[in-house]
Homo-oligomer: A and B are copies of this chain.
Amino acid sequence: MPKIAMLSTGEEVLYGDIVDTNAAWLSRVFYEHGFSMSKRSTVGDQRTALLQEMVMLSLNLDVVIVNGGLGPTSDDLTAEVAAEAADLPLVLNQAWLQTLETFYAQRGKPMPDSNIKQAMLPEGATVVDNPIGTACGFKMMINDCLFYFTPGVPSEFKKMTLEQILPDLRHEYPNQQGRVCRRLYTFGLSESGIADTLSSINLPPEYELGYRSYLPFIEVKLFGPSDDLELGSRVLAMVEKLLHTNVVSVDQPMLDRIGHLVETHQPTISISEHATKGYLASWLQDNEQIEPYCGATWVLGYKTASPLDRNSERLGATLALAGATKSNCSSDIALSTGKLEDGEFSVALSTPKGEWGQTLKLQRSYNAQSIKTVISTVAGDMLRRYLDNKPMFPDYGFLTRTNEIFVPTDQLT
């Protein structure tokens, strides 16, 4: 089992201006491929700190993934310091210089001189191609330790890791037992609540559960050997059974699940938003299967009291809004979110079968974005449940339902 470390560079990571999402992602992906990380370190852009860390790592580990510091600016020192650590000169990589010139030529621009720096690599280093950016990745040995150098831009870093570094490592270390991670997305439960519920399960050897919590979802991860997927599926089914009503999707985010259902049933959808301020339409449309029908989604303002706003009965207002939107747009389905008042909001769904509406209360305060996310998720979940013939009003642990209503079509006035 190789000892692997990640070295993240850059003031902005060291000083926490940006969260090192690359590091979290890398640990996860490596783990799934049977490579576990034994340490991670972060240094800023000071030459000596960087040099010292590279040397220390090279003496104590087998593989090091260095991330960041390959940019054109003078504070990006990684390649230079790598050369110093290996006691090699920097040499101009003609092939990569060519790539850079093409990159800029295609955009009809002269290449800034500062970019030439990005083609200077330690002598003998092997290029790790970056198909989407100007930073050139490379690999080289430093004191018998295999170093991979990667750019900080997440999209570039991830693509290079998956397409080049991982295959390379699997070739170097062919006997690593692969692990797979199955994911189950829940909405409305607390992590400790889930843990208690699942504590009753006797996991087979080599299987373990993990949790990843990010508003508004908690992801339940089942890790297991990659050579018995069938057993893994059985365990996952058991987990799903125990969490049933709060499971929104399996092995795919909820939005992908909704997109799949929309693709299958092809409903036309219209949307009216108060509390979500346009975020609901924006979020749903991140899945290309979903888009508002009939030319318009309404994002209702707050200042002006439309007749609906004046309606004292919040749930009724939101239900009426969904109905009005559906008929104005003559769409199959309409979603609406009502105003948020004292942490309480209503969400409604109007369909050919009838209209569902519910009022929920947040149990704690959230920032503006989180509120839009939570409310949009409830609306999305109603759409998902309707298309999937699931019960419409599950118990959302962290939301208190204060009101709910269903009006079948034949009772709609």
Contact = CB atoms under 8 A, between A and B. Distances in A.
Contacts of A276: 282
Provide the main secondary structure of the chain A interface.
mixed
B301 A292 contact: yes
A297 interface: yes
A23 interface: yes
Interface in A70-89: 71-75
A369 B285 CA distance: 10
Nearest to A38: B49
Contacts of A105: none
Interface string A281-305: 1100110100111111111111110
A214 B72 contact: no
A203 to B, nearest CB: 12
Interface in A260-316: 268, 271, 273, 276-282, 285-286, 288, 291-304, 306
Nearest to A17: B212
Given A196-B114, A211-B75, A294 B301 contact: yes
A24 interface: yes
A38 B43 contact: yes
Contacts of A123: none
A327 interface: no
Contacts of A15: 24, 27-28, 31, 37
Interface string A197-222: 00100000000001110100000000
A211 B73 CA distance: 9
A16 B27 contact: yes
A299 B278 contact: yes
Contacts of A164: none
A60 B27 CA distance: 26
B17 A114 contact: no
What range describes how many residues of A lie at the interface? 35 or more
B71 A53 contact: no
Interface string A36-49: 11111111101001
Given A17-B212, A71-B191, A277-B282, A301 B296 contact: yes
A195 interface: yes
Contacts of A17: 24, 210-212
Contact of A278 (B23, B297, B302, B303): B297
A115 interface: yes
Contacts of A277: 281-282, 285, 291
Interface string A1-36: 000000000011011111111011101100100001
Contacts of A228: none
A42 B38 CA distance: 9
A368 interface: yes
A363 interface: yes
A312 to B, nearest CB: 18
A270 to B, nearest CB: 8
A192 interface: yes
B42 A46 contact: no
Nearest to A198: B73
Given A15-B27, A75-B210, 10 more contacts: A17-B211, A37-B44, A38-B43, A40-B41, A273-B278, A286-B368, A292-B299, A295-B300, A295-B306, A297-B299
28 contacts: A12-B210, A12-B212, A14-B40, A15-B27, A16-B21, A17-B24, A19-B24, A38-B43, A39-B43, A41-B41, A74-B195, A75-B210, A75-B211, A112-B193, A112-B196, A132-B364, A277-B281, A277-B282, A277-B285, A278-B278, A278-B285, A285-B368, A291-B303, A293-B303, A295-B304, A296-B301, A297-B299, A299-B299
